[in-house]
Amino acid sequence: MANVPQHILMIAFDFPPRGGSGVERTLKFARFLSSFGWKPVVLTVNESTHGDFVDHSNQLENDIIVERTFCLDASRHLAFRGRHFEFSKKPDRYWGWAFTAVPKAMSLIKQYDIKCLWSTYPVMTSHIIGYVLNKLTKLPWIADYRDPLQCYYDELVYNNSKAARFFDKLVVENTTKLVFVTNNALSLYANIYGARVLEKSTVIENGFDSKNLGALSRTLENDKFVLFHGGSLYETGRQPQVLFDALKLLKVKLGKDFDKVKLNLLGAHNQQFNKVRAEQLEISQAVEFKSQQPYQQCLQAMLNADVLVVIQGQVFDNQIPGKIYEYLNTDLPIVVVTPNNSATDVLVKEFPGVLSSEDPTEIAVFLVRAFTEKIRYVRDTEKLERRERTQELAQLLDSCV
């Protein structure tokens, strides 16, 4: 590690005040890197880019240098009477950001004597900016994949992702290092691109920052048994069918006590389709749908629950939702609805108090026990701390310069 701190340029679309948990990976890397000999300079978009999806609860440290530039959003700035052409969003709707980001980045590289570039997906434009800067400056470039390219695991979008696949190939061929968040995602890319991926790749998982919960205290709802799921649900991949079936069985097992059960589904895109299903199963009185909320409010809702729930269907086998690390930082029972041997399943099975299953009966039995016994669990999660993950990144940076 260098004695004099060196500067890294971090190119990230998802960064505060953008809402959602997607900002946490870059934010925590930026927050802790200075402890390991690297000073972050973050290049991101103007706050106006995020529209109503803004959350000011994440406070930035004073020593994090943040530069913001205008980002053209094709779905807004290229729309006519509220409509736009689909091709204008290739490879993503934010491709116009590159035209302001690259000149600003070149200025920052000179101003701060940047030693390494880092960009993060799932906004492909971030990697495009990293690619251009790498070609212009010859600086080492680390491409971070919070998720694999969607078309590689979701065949429904494959035919519409030709542009994204073109740029993804450029990233794999030209980046100095590739970083993935799961071994499954690394294997997926190795199967697609071959041995060259293995030669330049490493895995740095997500994690949690214990300070996020430090200022919060648990507040229980009177006489309620609360199940909490944070995050969007979809009609494929993340849909609550199994969980709803388990609640139907739980209703039979608890009888009148089922009136105490409340499933809190917090997040975007959770509404109409799932409401109909809950009504069909006659459990709608126990299911509460809430829209997306600021990050700290989500953490508070998580902490107030009796059981935490993750839904990660087969289409997402290669990924681990970031919220599972926050869940593991609590002492609460956790239900993970995911296939056997998925990346999420492999992670959670080493911790006590976690049921990983797609069997409604098994889940119902677990919930009955949680309802009656109120067991709390001690989990050894030190290795999941964001600070530990950042040290892994710092060691990778050291190897690049």
Range with the lowest mean pLDDT among 116-130, 283-297, 355-369?
283-297
Cβ proximity of 130 and 172 under 8 Å: no
pLDDT of res. 208:
94
Cβ proximity of 265 and 289 under 8 Å: yes
Binned at pLDDT 50, 70 and 90, residue 196 comes out as confident
Binned at pLDDT 50, 70 and 90, residue 160 comes out as confident
| pLDDT for 81 beyond 70 | no
The more confident residue out of 163 and 51 is: 163
Cis peptide before 333 (omega within 30 of 0): no
pLDDT of res. 217:
81
pLDDT of res. 77:
58
Cβ proximity of 94 and 55 under 8 Å: no
Task: Calculate mean pLDDT across residues 187-192.
Answer: 95
Question: What does the alpha-carbon distance between residue 163 and residue 123 come to, in Å, rounded to a whole number?
Answer: 13
Question: What does the alpha-carbon distance between residue 335 and residue 328 come to, in Å, rounded to a whole number?
Answer: 11
Cβ proximity of 153 and 178 under 8 Å: no
pLDDT of res. 268:
62
| pLDDT for 2 beyond 50 | no
pLDDT of res. 269:
61
Tell me which DSSP letter residue 22 carries: G
The chain-wide mean pLDDT, for the chain, equals: 90
Task: Calculate mean pLDDT across residues 380-398.
Answer: 96
What is the SS3 assignment for 383?
helix
Question: What does the alpha-carbon distance between residue 272 and residue 360 come to, in Å, rounded to a whole number?
Answer: 22
The more confident residue out of 76 and 361 is: 361
Binned at pLDDT 50, 70 and 90, residue 44 comes out as very high
Cβ proximity of 244 and 311 under 8 Å: no
Run of H or E residues at 62: none
Share of the chain above pLDDT 90, in %: 70
Q: Is 256 exposed, middle or buried (0-12, 13-18, 19+ CB in 10 A)?
A: exposed
**Residue 193: both structure tokens together:** 């691109």
